[in-house]
Chain A
Amino acid sequence: MPEQLFQFLVTGVTVGSIYALVGLGFALIYNASDVVNFAQGEFVMLGAMTAIALLGAGLPLPLAAVAATLLTVLIGLLLERFAIEPAFGASVVTTIIITIGAAILVRGIALLLWGKDFHALPSFSGDAPLHLGSATLLPQSLWVLGGAVVLVTLVHTFLNHTLLGKALLACSFNRAAAQLVGINVRVMLRLAYGLSAGLGALAGILIAPITFSSYEAGVMLGLKGFSAAIVGGIGNPMGAVAGGLLLGVLEALGAGLISSGYKDAIAFLFVLMVLFFEPTGLFGHKVAERV
């Protein structure tokens, strides 16, 4: 039993790091505009699918990955310019609905471009499983985990230790005040969408060898990533990672120890409990609303 438990934990961390990586992408746009970007899952899908397509066209994997990320950044910027910016000044809810619409559009285009089949990206360093005592994991899981650590550090440093990052945060705290001190809010928004798209694309490319990808892969990944983000406290990149790992481990333990049929229910019950007792998430900023 203890050796089984260890495998459950390893599995949980594997799955959790996928959720964490996707959840991370929600933080930037949320920080810049208080908007939950429901097209984030689509950025993840676009990164993966573009990389697969470029690889198929003969590009070597690293080049395909970089090109796919840049292309997705471009799409993120286009989305901001042509869907979000025209609605500048609209309420948060309106903007969220725009992102849902954008997600459906992107899915539709992906369907036309790549069809309905699932596609796989080859693993970066082979498929031979690594043994950790009695448990095994795939080398690709280490890529995902490592990717999550690197990206979360980058995002954290960017938001808290660079002028640009602080300016971005300022936009979400008080847009009018940010504008008054000379921050160009529109440019900050573009930056947030571009970077989020890039983060999503990188996440997609890292996890595609494990989860495969198809035009609608973004829906489920986006949902799980979003759950991870709100459990950890949306807006806090560290929170997304903690939330993702927690969700993953809970699912694996639920499947392993209780029943595989109820594992999602167990995980989502936990999400509900967290939101009930800590509405801002485990690591969210405690914001005092001024009445």
Chain B
Amino acid sequence: MMKSGWWKNILAASLLLIGAHSVGAAEPIRIGSFLTVTGPASFLGDPELKTLQMYVEDINAKGGVKGRKIELIHYDTGGNAKDAVNFVKRLIKNDNVDLIIGGTTTGDTMAVIPDVEKEGIPFISLAGAVEIIEPVKKWVFKTPHTDRMAVAKIYEDLRKRGLTKVALITGDGGFDKSGREQLLKLAPQYGITIVVDESYGNKDSDMTAQLTKIRASEAQAIINFGFGQAPAIVTRNIKQLGITLPLYQSHGVASKTFIDLAGDAAEGVRMPAAALVIAEQLPDANPQKPVLLAYKKQYEAKHGPVSTFGGYAYDGLMIAVEAIQRAGGADKAKVRDEIEKTQGFIGNTGVFNMSPQDHMGLNLDAFKMVEIRGGSWKIVE
């Protein structure tokens, strides 16, 4: 039996090979994803996943990319960088994905970069920090604005108002710390002196002690870089202490939740925000406007209020799809090259012009300085 059976095995194996080959043309394009859908950064990852799922469904309903359906394989990291690494290994080795879109937080993203680079798989990150793309890494791209751009936008606004002495108050998360680094680094370029530099724990319930110190300093403005509920508490505490200095928040809280939590205290707070939050206020000539309104309409019809973080995922997915289309398939090296050649892509976050030196491709125009007035956003120009 054993002896006469061996040729059958070979025949079966070769048939399988032929089969796999002929089926190959109609095989789905596998996009892997790892996002923080639960945990402290879930308000970022949740709309990102919903956006990816919604548009993948949409693309498949319209016949897919080059006749091939897209299959989305997703894992939830819960904001744990160690899990992110394991999931990315699984995506590459077991799920054989062609491309990865994900990494909600900078921590998750930075942790997986060594694996992505080693395996050579195109990776579009949805996290903020500038260190993801600087120095440029061959296989790594990102769609969100960097924290450096947010800082530059805030400092530009301060300069316009003639304010030079600022107080910083930042949280203890990765986003907060990276933002603080950029705030310290860019200050000299804009002629800004940081007179107080305070911090808090992201789950603290009161920051009046730190703000009391700021009140006693000679600061002319306060910058709070963080996300989650803490910036809302900072905003309320500032009002409680009767501090009237202008307050700047980061793009991390450019969501309706912040206004709801901070209530009246949010009045007059400024922050750099993606165009999505003020899409209706943009002039009609703005090329981004139709893209933004379309995304907003589609998302809100299904999931409720839109968030800029979902917009990052939209941009990532569409840039990838266009690159796959131009590359004529999902060949990893070709897709990587095509992503790098992305020019004039009008996304949610801004207009993307990538290059071998710039794996994000956005400029400062992608941010709008907005102020909260009467419980909603107004563009400040």
Interface residues of A (CB under 8 A from B): 4, 7-8, 10-12, 14-15, 18, 111, 116-118, 120, 127, 129, 136-138, 207, 210-212, 214, 216, 220, 251-253, 255-256, 260-261, 263-264
Contacts and interface: CB of A to CB of B under 8 A. Distances in A.
Interface string B316-352: 0000000000000000000000000000000000000
Nearest to A8: B209
Contact of A207 (B40, B172, B205, B232): B205
A189 B260 CA distance: 40
B175 to A, nearest CB: 16
Contacts of B39: 216
Contact of B206 (A4, A14, A111, A129): A14
Task: Pick the 3 closest A-B CB pairs, nearest first.
Answer: A211-B205, A116-B42, A255-B209
A120 B261 contact: yes
Given A11-B208, A117-B43, A260-B210, A212 B232 contact: yes
A117 B257 contact: yes
Given A11-B206, A118-B228, A129 B242 contact: yes
A199 B95 CA distance: 49
A255 to B, nearest CB: 4
Interface in B187-242: 198-201, 203, 205-206, 208-210, 212-213, 216, 228-229, 232-233, 236, 239-242
Among B200, B208, B209, which residue has the most Cβ atoms of chain A within 10 A?
B209
A129 B240 contact: yes
Contacts of A18: 205
B265 interface: yes
A261 B207 CA distance: 12
B83 interface: no
A242 B236 CA distance: 27
A118 B206 CA distance: 16
B46 interface: yes
B263 A129 contact: no
B233 A137 contact: no
A261 B232 contact: no
A212 B261 contact: yes
B38 A111 contact: yes
Nearest to A7: B212
B71 interface: no
B63 to A, nearest CB: 34
Contacts of A214: 229
Interface string B42-54: 1100100000000
Nearest to B197: A260
A214 B241 CA distance: 26
A88 to B, nearest CB: 34
A87 B329 CA distance: 59
B264 interface: yes
A193 B283 CA distance: 60
B263 A127 contact: yes
A11 B42 CA distance: 30
A129 B239 CA distance: 8
A17 to B, nearest CB: 11
Given A12-B209, A261-B199, 18 more contacts: A4-B212, A116-B42, A118-B232, A118-B261, A120-B261, A120-B263, A127-B236, A127-B263, A127-B264, A138-B240, A210-B233, A211-B205, A211-B229, A212-B229, A252-B209, A256-B212, A256-B213, A260-B200
A220 B213 contact: no
Contacts of A207: 205
A8 B265 contact: no
Contact of B240 (A4, A137, A253): A137
A256 B233 contact: no
9 contacts: A4-B216, A8-B209, A8-B212, A11-B212, A116-B46, A252-B206, A252-B208, A253-B209, A260-B198
Contacts of B38: 111, 116
Contacts of A117: 43, 257
Nearest to B241: A136
A105 B192 CA distance: 49
Interface-centre pick from A4, A260, A263 (highest chain B CB count, 10 A)? A260
B205 A210 contact: yes
A261 B169 CA distance: 11
B257 A118 contact: yes
Contacts of B241: 7, 129, 136
B347 to A, nearest CB: 25
A7 B206 CA distance: 12
Given A4-B213, A118-B229, A120-B261, A260 B203 contact: no
Contacts of A15: 205-206
A18 B46 CA distance: 30
A11 to B, nearest CB: 4
A120 B240 contact: no
Contacts of B210: 255-256, 260
A227 B308 CA distance: 38
Nearest to A10: B208
A232 to B, nearest CB: 19
A4 B228 CA distance: 28
A263 B213 CA distance: 14
Contacts of A14: 206, 208
B277 to A, nearest CB: 16
A4 B208 CA distance: 10
Nearest to B205: A211
Contacts of B213: 4, 256
Most A CB within 10 A of own CB, among B40, B172, B205, B261 = B205
A120 B212 contact: no
